[in-house]
């Protein structure tokens, strides 16, 4: 068996695992695979060149960036923060859940508000901590630590599973270009549609899980009867 | 690398009735994307504050040439240009130069003027992509191109300060921030093609075939999905995992038996995302937030993601088995 042909796969696995520069890993893996697979220098360069050109659609983000930065300049983040600010008198878990829905919907349109650095830290965390205080508690350090983890988790889950709903997103383009040489022709719209039930399930799961987890923590840290009656 | 007939070839491409309208539109979009990349390259070359201006310029210009003119350059020439492009990236000579980021005050002032209406141009691109995919033969990508134009027009109507140069500089700024790593998906797709050309998929298929019996499609789906999760956890990147796993397992053990490639091919990727949620290798998502939110526990994000990730994995495996 031609186990030697797997050398390039090994390069990728080990390379990423020991955190080498990703582009270096890919080029080395390509060269190693070309050597063990007898592609030759020309074969390597020609395959590299023609596939890259065939996949230029994946760089569509360059065109989208033509508006992304200017949207931010014109106050997109401020608008998003005003929108989420409409969530009043909620628990920390509910704030996270509301953010999960908003992030998921906008992810489906390939719109992000700046991730953890740009949105969770300056807007969601103060809202969540404010929610704990509004219910009459002094925020417990361990509780806030978990809320941070849950907010990041909601951020990731909504983004990962809803971004694939954007028709022509990077993930679907990669799947399309991986399947094509194997003889399967798939449509970008179909690739997005097939993910709709999964995206809805993922967001609902995240919301429910973090809401229940937060409620349990509130009981644990502040006692079940400490919550002020509304 | 370039021949004198390149402009003629380009002209004949756009006038050729055999070429679809969609392909012509796409080629115009690639031209625009390439020119944006070249603009960013030249901008950095002239930027004395960029400590790696040559490398940065080489990277963005080489990318821009392949993007804009790749169709008319022979594959060998494109391959050489891509190698040239990756060199400064590997040598860490691609840097962010001077960028004119909007200040919070500017954003606030614009928000006071435009308000919630800013969501309209934000949603235009996605809506346009869906509309084009549903109602035209041009496809989603061309829809994105038109959506970008509509979004630009709306923003220009909102504020006279949004001049073409503002859009161009803002995109160059974001392009510089995402940097060479933004090319990862395209390079991975190319690596996948090289694997296929070298017959890597067959070798993996032979290996896996010794462990799981061929012909059991449900078992194949389970191995494909769990394999995606494990590979993604090791590499920290589901995009890196999907090419080799599809070629080595998805195709020979699942798709070859007639399973639906839309369901299997796509859901395998999002099954891989469950791996992304559980690994410190995906540092951008799981470790960087720990630092940004000043958390005490390095595993604090991952610990809050493991249970949803496992539930989502089971859900997706069942989903693939039902819809295959």
Contacts of A42 in chain B (CB under 8 A): 76
Contacts of B194 in chain A (CB under 8 A): 8, 30, 33-34, 37, 39, 44, 47-48, 51
Contacts of B298 in chain A (CB under 8 A): none
Q: Is the pLDDT of residue A224 over 80?
A: no
In Å, how far is B116's CA from the nearest CA of chain A? 6
In Å, how far is B211's CA from the nearest CA of chain A? 15
Give the pLDDT mean for A43-47: 92
Residue positions counted in chain A: 230
In Å, how far is A43's CA from the nearest CA of chain B? 8
Q: Which two tokens stand for residue B19?
A: 């070429």
| Closest C-alpha to B184, from A42, A54, A196, A26 | A26
Cα distance between residue B322 and residue B100, in whole Å: 51
Q: Is the pLDDT of residue A206 over 90?
A: yes
Burial class (CB in 10 A: 0-12, 13-18, 19+), B11: exposed
Contacts of A58 in chain B (CB under 8 A): 185-186, 189
Give the pLDDT mean for B25-47: 95
- DSSP letters of B7-23? HHHHHHHHH-TTS-HHH
pLDDT digits (tens, 9 = 90+) for A130-153: 888 888 888 899 999 999 999 999
Looking at chain A from residue 14 to 53, which residues have their Cβ under 8 Å from any Cβ of chain B? 16-17, 19, 21-24, 26-27, 29-30, 33-34, 36-39, 42-53
Give the pLDDT score at A230: 44
Confidence of residue B148 (pLDDT cuts 50, 70, 90): very high
**B140 phi/psi in degrees, rounded to 5:** -65, -40
Contacts of A10 in chain B (CB under 8 A): none
Q: Is the pLDDT of residue A183 over 70?
A: yes
Q: Is-contact B64 B81, C-beta < 8 A? A: no
Cβ within 8 Å of residue B139, ≥6 positions away: A188, B22, B26, B132, B133
Q: Is the pLDDT of residue B199 over 50?
A: yes
What percent of chain B is predicted at pLDDT more than 70? 98
Give the pLDDT mean for A117-129: 84
Q: Which two tokens stand for residue B311?
A: 């539930």
pLDDT digits (tens, 9 = 90+) for B91-140: 999 999 888 888 989 999 999 999 999 989 988 988 898 898 888 989 88
CB-based contact (8 Å) between B192 and chain A?
yes
- How many CB atoms are closer than 10 A to CB A224? 8
Contact B67 A62 (CB under 8 A): yes
Give the pLDDT score at B190: 85
Contacts of A111 in chain B (CB under 8 A): 122-123, 126
pLDDT digits (tens, 9 = 90+) for A188-200: 999 999 999 999 9
Beta-carbon pairs below 8 A across chains A and B: 444
- E strands, chain B, in order: none
Nearest to B75 among A49, A108, A120 (CB): A49
User: For chain B, give me the number of helices (H) and strands (E)?
Assistant: 17, 0
Q: What are the Cα distances from residue A15, in Å, to A31, A129, B234?
A: 14, 40, 10
Give the pLDDT score at A1: 55
Q: How far apart are the first and last CA of chain B?
A: 46
The three-class DSSP label of residue B281 is coil
Looking at chain A from residue 69 to 108, which residues have their Cβ under 8 Å from any Cβ of chain B? 69-79, 82-83, 106, 108
Contact B116 A79 (CB under 8 A): yes
Contact B198 A34 (CB under 8 A): yes
Q: Is-contact B70 A53, C-beta < 8 A? A: yes
CB-based contact (8 Å) between B91 and chain A?
no
Q: Is the pLDDT of residue B268 over 80?
A: yes
In Å, how far is B115's CA from the nearest CA of chain A? 6
Nearest to B194 among A47, A117, A164 (CB): A47
Cα distance between residue B141 and residue B156, in whole Å: 23
List the single residue in A with minimal CA-CA distance to B251.
Answer: A182
Per-chain mean pLDDT for chain A: 88
Give the pLDDT score at B202: 79
**A139 phi/psi in degrees, rounded to 5:** -55, 125
Q: What is the DSSP letter of B138?
A: S
∠ at Cα A42 (A38, A46), nearest 5°? Answer: 110
pLDDT digits (tens, 9 = 90+) for A4-41: 888 988 898 888 778 888 899 989 999 999 999 888 99
Cα distance between residue A165 and residue A193, in whole Å: 7
Helix (H) or strand (E) holding B71: none
pLDDT digits (tens, 9 = 90+) for A146-182: 999 999 999 999 999 999 999 988 899 999 989 998 8
pLDDT digits (tens, 9 = 90+) for B67-100: 999 999 999 999 999 999 999 999 999 999 888 8
Q: Which of B159, B194, B199 to mutate to test the interface with A (most CBs of A within 10 A)?
A: B194
- Cα dihedral B79, B85, B86, B91 in deg (nearest 10): 150
- DSSP letters of A49-103? HHHHHHTGGGGGHHHHHHHHHHHHHTTHHHHHHHHHTT--S--HHHHHHHHHHHH
In Å, how far is B241's CA from the nearest CA of chain A? 9
Question: Is 0.90 exceeded by the ipTM?
Answer: no
Nearest to A189 among B29, B110, B133 (CB): B133
Asked whether the CA dihedral A102, A108, A111, A116 is positive or negative, the reply is positive
Q: Which two tokens stand for residue B171?
A: 């995109």
Cα distance between residue A39 and residue A31, in whole Å: 9
Give the pLDDT score at A229: 44
Confidence of residue B2 (pLDDT cuts 50, 70, 90): low
Nearest to B140 among A177, A188, A201 (CB): A188
Confidence of residue A116 (pLDDT cuts 50, 70, 90): confident
Contacts of A27 in chain B (CB under 8 A): 83, 86, 90, 187
Confidence of residue B280 (pLDDT cuts 50, 70, 90): confident
Looking at chain B from residue 93 to 122, which residues have their Cβ under 8 Å from any Cβ of chain A? 102, 106-108, 110-116, 118-119, 121-122
pLDDT digits (tens, 9 = 90+) for B46-66: 999 999 999 999 999 999 999
Cα distance between residue B255 and residue B220, in whole Å: 9
């Amino acid at each position: 068996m031609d186990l030697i042909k797997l050398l390039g796969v090994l390069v990728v696995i080990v390379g990423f695992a020991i955190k080498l520069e990703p582009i270096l890993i890919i080029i080395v893996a390509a060269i190693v695979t070309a050597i063990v697979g007898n592609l030759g220098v020309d074969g390597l360069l020609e395959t590299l060149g023609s596939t890259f050109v065939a996949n230029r659609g994946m760089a569509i983000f360059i065109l989208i960036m033509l508006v992304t930065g200017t949207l931010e300049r014109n106050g997109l983040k401020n608008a998003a923060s005003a929108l989420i600010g409409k969530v009043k008198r909620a628990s920390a878990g509910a704030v996270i859940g509301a953010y999960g829905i908003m992030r998921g919907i906008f992810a489906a349109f390939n719109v992000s508000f700046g991730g953890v650095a740009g949105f969770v830290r300056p807007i969601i965390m103060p809202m969540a901590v404010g929610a704990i205080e509004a219910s009459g508690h002094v925020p417990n350090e361990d509780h806030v630590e978990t809320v941070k983890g849950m907010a990041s988790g909601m951020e990731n889950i909504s983004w990962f599973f809803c971004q694939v709903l954007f028709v022509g997103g990077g993930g679907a383009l990669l799947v399309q270009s991986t399947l094509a040489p194997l003889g399967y022709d798939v449509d970008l719209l179909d690739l997005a549609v097939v993910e709709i039930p999964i995206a809805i399930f993922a967001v609902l799961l995240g919301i429910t899980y973090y809401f229940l987890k937060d409620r349990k923590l509130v009981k644990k840290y502040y006692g079940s009867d400490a919550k002020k009656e509304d | 690398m370039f021949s004198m007939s390149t402009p003629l070839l380009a002209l004949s491409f756009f006038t050729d009735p055999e070429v679809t309208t969609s392909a012509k539109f796409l080629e115009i979009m690639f031209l625009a994307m390439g020119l944006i990349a070249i603009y960013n390259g030249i901008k950095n070359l002239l930027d004395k504050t960029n400590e790696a201006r040559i490398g940065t310029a080489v990277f963005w210009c080489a990318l821009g040439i392949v993007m804009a003119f790749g169709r008319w350059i022979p594959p060998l020439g494109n391959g050489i240009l891509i190698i040239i492009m990756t060199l400064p990236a590997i040598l860490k000579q691609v840097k962010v130069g001077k960028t004119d980021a909007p200040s919070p005050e500017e954003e606030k002032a614009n928000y006071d003027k435009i308000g919630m209406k800013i969501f309209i141009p934000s949603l235009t691109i996605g809506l346009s992509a869906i509309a084009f995919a549903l109602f035209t033969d041009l496809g989603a990508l061309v829809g994105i191109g038109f959506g970008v134009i509509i979004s630009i027009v709306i923003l220009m109507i909102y504020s006279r300060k949004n001049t073409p140069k503002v859009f161009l500089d803002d995109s160059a700024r974001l392009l510089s921030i995402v940097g060479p790593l933004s090319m990862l998906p395209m390079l991975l797709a190319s690596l996948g093609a090289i694997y296929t050309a070298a017959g890597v998929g067959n070798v993996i298929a032979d290996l896996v075939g010794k462990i799981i019996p061929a012909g059991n499609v449900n078992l194949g789906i389970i191995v494909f999905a769990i394999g995606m999760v494990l590979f993604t956890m090791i590499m920290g990147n589901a995009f890196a995992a999907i090419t080799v796993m599809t070629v080595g397992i998805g195709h020979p053990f699942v798709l070859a038996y007639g399973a639906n490639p839309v369901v299997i091919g796509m859901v395998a990727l999002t099954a891989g995302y469950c791996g992304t949620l559980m690994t410190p290798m995906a540092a951008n998502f799981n470790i960087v937030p720990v630092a940004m939110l000043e958390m005490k526990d390095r595993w604090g994000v991952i610990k809050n993601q493991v249970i949803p990730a496992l539930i989502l994995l089971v859900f997706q495996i069942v989903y693939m088995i039902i819809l295959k």
